[in-house]
Amino acid sequence: MATLLLLVIYISFIGLGIPDSLFGAAWPVIYTELGIPVSLGSLVTMLISGGTIVSSLFSARLIRRFQTGRITAFSTTLTAFALLGFSCSGNMLFLCLCAVPLGLGAGAVDTALNNYVALHYKALHMNFLHCFYGIGVSLSPFFMSLALSSGSWRAGYRSVFGVQAGIAALTILALPLWKKAHSEAGEDEEEEKNVGFLQLLKDRRVRRACLVFIGSCGLEYTCGNWGSTFLVNARGLGADAAAATITFYYVGMAMGRFLSGLLSGRLGSRRLILAGQGIGLAALYLLMMAGSFFHVLKRNTK
């Protein structure tokens, strides 16, 4: 039963990743169609991130009161309808309104499932869990690129809504699995200790982990939310080609997390984090060098 529940959790994390890469892939077409400044994309992403932070801060209380299975089902359903709302948006205000439930739902399911897997499964499964997140964020720009090739970003949102709605239905049908898994293990989720965020910050290791996460999420969000816009405005790619190109970035992320899962048992958390930081810094340096090279090449050819 625990294995079947783990599979449901993996699929739920695909649903967590699906909305995260969709807006950035569609934004070059959205702001043009709505006739709004390109910079307003930051407002939408900030609202999504803000909703994620708020629901994460209340995650301990939510888990104690509703349990992980119910939070996962409700939050995934909430994000699905938020995606449907995006597809119907005709102005900036409606985009902002849809961003709030999207962020709240994502933050709740993220913290709840991470907490559950950390308590009940090995570190290997935590890495694979985030690999499935990588699958989700890889699917969205791919679907959006197909929709944009037909000239409709709204169709991209609707197709992704269909996938997310299917995952939401699965999480609802899987609700009995949570109780069965706990009964087989002789556990009661309500009796588990869920530590609040402020209490966690008292641990120096947690504070260090937060700093690492700020850096990694900053890089991930910058590329994911603005990569397509950069490729369209600065490199002259079509919106569909830009979205397809960003897909490769997310595929690389998924592959990296899969590899991390395989190496986690051998390297341990500390060495794995240090290796990831080193690889990330090396990749940034190579990108800056490549950007400088092409800039000089472009200037000399004029």
Q: In this predicted model, what pLDDT tens digit does every residue of 74-111 receive, in sequence order? A: 999 999 999 999 999 889 999 999 999 999 998 888 88
pLDDT score at 251: 86
Exposure class string for 199-226: b at 16+ Cβ within 10 A, else e: eeeeeeeeeeeeeeeeeeeeebeebbbb
> Do residues 76 and 160 touch, judged by C-beta distance below 8 A?
no
CA distance 76 to 165: 8
Helix (H, G, I), strand (E, B) or coil at 236: coil
pLDDT score at 190: 47
Tokens standing for residue 20: 């995260």
CA distance 26 to 147: 10
Q: Other C-beta atoms within 10 Å of 187: how many?
A: 13
Tokens standing for residue 110: 């993220």
Give per-residue pLDDT as tens, 127-138.
778 788 888 888
Q: Which of 38-52, 85-99, 169-183 has the lowest mean pLDDT?
A: 169-183
Give per-residue pLDDT as tens, 179-231.
777 666 555 554 455 566 667 777 787 787 778 778 777 877 888 888 889 88
pTM score of the predicted model: 0.82
Q: In the predicted model, what is the mean pLDDT of the chain? A: 82
For residue 162, pLDDT over 70 is answered with yes
Measuring CA to CA, which residue among 76, 66, 19 is closest to residue 225?
Answer: 19
For residue 297, pLDDT over 60 is answered with no
Range of 84-98, 107-121, 253-267 with top mean pLDDT: 84-98
CA distance 99 to 102: 5
The distance from CA 106 to its chain's CA centroid, rounded to whole angstroms, is 8
pLDDT score at 134: 85
> Do residues 48 and 224 touch, judged by C-beta distance below 8 A?
no
CA distance 95 to 99: 6
Exposure class string for 37-76: b at 16+ Cβ within 10 A, else e: eeebbeebbebbbebbeebbebbbebbeeebbbbbbbbbb
